[in-house]
């Protein structure tokens, strides 16, 4: 997929942060986009700002949304080449402070909905014989820290699924990759009492555009190259 021109990507969680930055980066490569997120106004504004994009607002936990996104790509552009499985939320807390209902909602978004999107995408890629699934994990998909076990568990689940799917599809033209961002300037932790940047003493986090460049790098590799996972971290982040 060295030349991305006119290829079609679905991006979940596209209205802000890593999803928005990746949409802009892929549009700059000449790709056509199907964008989804819950915030219809922000999503539609982004679609209008890009040369070839449509918005399909929806809640990623809707079991019907993945199939709707695939059919929207096929109807609008006649193909689907990439699914950037990015939508996610983050809840943390100690045994005493964690909101269990919010954690269970996180599991539905980060695991159940991501799994649905992955399998629906790969079944479409199987039918057409090619495609690229990129699942967004986290550095916390590779290690844990106190208070963040529930979130890390959702990303460990993404890591396990991604690696098993890669193994299952080895030898085909269907590729699977996990992108593992370190601390990135998004809205993911806006509701935390203390932002992780302060807790970790970081002066400079990653920007969403840093992750978007990594996604473009992955997609532009020759067909015989596989990148099962790519970890992108701020230079100061020791964890």
239 domain-assigned: no
2 domain-assigned: no
**Can you give the pTM of this predicted structure?**
0.94
Handedness of CA 92, 195, 217, 68 (dihedral sign): positive
Instruction: Print pLDDT tens along the chain (239 aa).
Output: 679 999 999 999 999 999 999 999 999 999 999 999 999 999 999 999 999 999 999 999 999 999 999 999 999 999 999 999 999 999 999 999 999 999 999 999 999 999 999 999 999 999 999 999 999 999 999 999 999 999 999 999 999 999 999 999 999 999 999 999 999 988 777 676 666 766 677 778 889 999 999 999 999 999 999 999 999 999 887 77
Q: Cα-atom radius of gyration of the chain, to the nearest Å?
A: 17
The tally of domains found in the chain comes to 1
238 domain-assigned: no
C-alpha distances in Å from residue 84, one per residue of 13, 20, 176: 9, 11, 10
3 domain-assigned: no
121 domain-assigned: yes
Give pLDDT, residue 186: 81
42 domain-assigned: yes
Give pLDDT, residue 195: 60
Q: Which domain holds residue 224?
A: 8-232
Give pLDDT, residue 102: 96
C-alpha distances in Å from residue 55, one per residue of 8, 48, 62, 124, 212: 13, 9, 16, 20, 19
Token pair 């964690």: residue: 98
CA angle at 188 for the pair 185 and 193, rounded to the nearest 5°: 100
193 domain-assigned: yes
167 domain-assigned: yes
- Active site positions, annotated: 151
CATH of the domain at 141: 3.40.50.720
């Amino acid at each position: 997929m060295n030349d991305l021109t006119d290829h079609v990507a679905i991006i979940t969680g596209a209205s802000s942060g890593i999803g928005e930055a990746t949409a802009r980066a892929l549009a700059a490569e000449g790709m056509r986009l199907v964008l989804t997120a819950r915030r219809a106004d922000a999503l539609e504004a982004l679609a209008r700002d890009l040369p070839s994009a449509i918005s399909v607002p929806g809640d990623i936990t809707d079991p019907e949304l993945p199939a709707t996104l695939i059919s929207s790509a096929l109807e609008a552009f006649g193909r689907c080449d990439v699914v950037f499985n990015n939508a996610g939320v983050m809840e943390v807390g100690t045994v005493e402070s964690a909101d269990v209902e919010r954690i269970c909602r996180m599991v539905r978004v980060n695991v159940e909905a991501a799994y649905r999107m992955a399998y629906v995408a790969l079944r479409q890629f199987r039918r057409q014989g090619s495609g690229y699934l990129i699942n967004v994990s986290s550095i916390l998909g590779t290690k844990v820290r106190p208070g963040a076990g529930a979130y890390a568990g959702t990303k460990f689940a993404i890591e396990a699924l991604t690696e098993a799917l890669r193994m299952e599809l080895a030898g085909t033209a269907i590729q699977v990759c996990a992108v593992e961002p370190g601390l990135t300037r998004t809205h993911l932790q806006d509701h935390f009492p203390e932002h992780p940047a302060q807790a970790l003493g970081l002066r400079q986090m990653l920007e969403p555009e840093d992750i978007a460049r990594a996604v473009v790098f992955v997609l532009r590799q020759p067909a015989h190259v596989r990148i099962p996972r790519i970890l992108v971290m701020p230079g100061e982040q020791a964890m």
